[in-house]
Amino acid sequence: MTSLAKNINLIRMINQPFISFITPVYNEQENIARMLANLFTILTAHPEWNWEVILIEDGSKDRTREVLQTEISKYPNTQLIVHEKNQGYTHSLKDGIAASHGKYLMYIGADEEFDSSEIPNFVEIFQRDEADIVLGVRWQRNAYQLFRFFLSVIYIFLLNYLFKIRINDYNWSQAWSRKVLDRIDLTSKSLFVLPEIIIKAHDLGFRIKEIPSNHRGRQAGKSSVNMKIMGSALWEGLKFWRYRCSKKYRAEKP
């Protein structure tokens, strides 16, 4: 490596954000302004994190884009990616990951169900180098209707049974080291993308740590998650299980 290349890499390391926060947004006109205000209350109190925020507006049908374009002018180190047409949560998450620069990344929902005051609990684990992935676990889901609660319990039980690991929450706020995402090959096109990250990271021997997290429930508006979306995630999970059982399975990028 030439001295010029070494200097360029050194500059990149010095300027690299410690952590990137990624939020896909779809039809959240009633929540997104409050979500950003709460998020930046925490971030501005921690300039030492050298953070960045990446928002992906996924072709919303309401005023979400208009609200976002107004709100982001209030906040530093924030990038807005706009999808002219709805491409789905997984595509949005992958776009956010691709656009991020942080040594670590954290996914946060736009619906205000996650309490941003918990973010330091995730970041401090990385600062102490105690894990490569940090998973929030909703021990209590009081805001869920009984039917959705049982669906979640069954989903978690089924994934743990199929993949022979013990995870208590697959689809909540998560934070990852970039070295994890750089190594794994993400193929999911559904909500199964978060379990896919966890399972492949486990298979590659990365350290996974779970921490308690409060589930506040949706503050306003209606969730876009429905039985069709949940069914697609389960079906993709079953297909992935069959692939993982085969000799062709590789968790790592080719």
Of the two residues 41 and 253, the one the predictor is more confident about is 41
pLDDT band (50, 70, 90) for residue 3: low
pLDDT band (50, 70, 90) for residue 124: very high
Res 14: pLDDT: 60
Q: What percent of the chain has pLDDT over 70?
A: 85
Give a three-class secondary structure readout of the chain: CCHHHHHHHHHHHHHCCCEEEEEEECCCCCCHHHHHHHHHHHHCCCHHHCCEEEEEEECCCCCHHHHHHHHHHHCCCEEEEEECCCCCHHHHHHHHHHHCCCCEEEECCCCCCECHHHHHHHHHHHHCCCCCEEEEECCCCCCCCHHHHHHHHHHHHHHHHHHCCCCCCCCCCEEEEHHHHHHECCCCCCCCHHHHHHHHHHHCCCCEEEEECCECCCCCCCCCCCHHHHHHHHHHHHHHHHHHCCCCCCCECC
pLDDT at 149 over 70: no
Of the two residues 224 and 104, the one the predictor is more confident about is 104
pLDDT band (50, 70, 90) for residue 227: low
pLDDT in tens, 41-50: 999 999 999 9
In order of their start, the domains of the chain are 13-244 (3.90.550.10)
The mean predicted confidence, pLDDT, of the chain is: 88
Average pLDDT value for residue range 90-99: 96
Of the two residues 41 and 145, the one the predictor is more confident about is 41
Q: What is the CA radius of gyration of the chain?
A: 18
Average pLDDT value for residue range 30-36: 95
Res 6: pLDDT: 46
pLDDT at 5 over 50: no
pLDDT at 243 over 80: yes
Res 72: pLDDT: 93
Res 65: pLDDT: 96
Lowest mean per-residue pLDDT among 77-86, 196-205, 210-219: 210-219
